[in-house]
Amino acid sequence: MAAKNDKSPYFTYKGLPLVRSKNYIYFGDPSQTHIIFITVLSSDSNDIPTKVSVELLLTDESLPPMERLLKRGEKSSLYEALDIGLIWLTRALKDKK
């Protein structure tokens, strides 16, 4: 469940910042080496996402966009996208340390 972190102006999920702008969701700390980027591809009549794209990206802006993309997948719900995104992000950050 999303919670407000006293140290950060953003909502957090599982201890990481979660920011939404229209159909785009950024999950993770942009000061670290990797971040999850989620795009809502379709939603039902109540604006609940029914198809989302989830990507693991490098935060190094000096790289071309296609080189920043490490993993990509599609899920049928936002929860599934956050779940797999957290796994990818945890593994990527663990490998870099």
What's the pLDDT tens digit per position in 14-26? 989 999 999 999 9
Q: Is the pTM of this model over 0.95?
A: no
The string of pLDDT tens digits covering residues 20-61 is: 999 999 999 999 999 999 999 999 988 889 999 999 999 999
Per-residue CA distances from 88 to 21, 28, 47, 74 (Å): 22, 11, 26, 14
Domain ranges of the chain: 3-96
* DSSP per-residue letters across 60-87: -TTS-HHHHEEEEEEESSHHHHHHHHHH
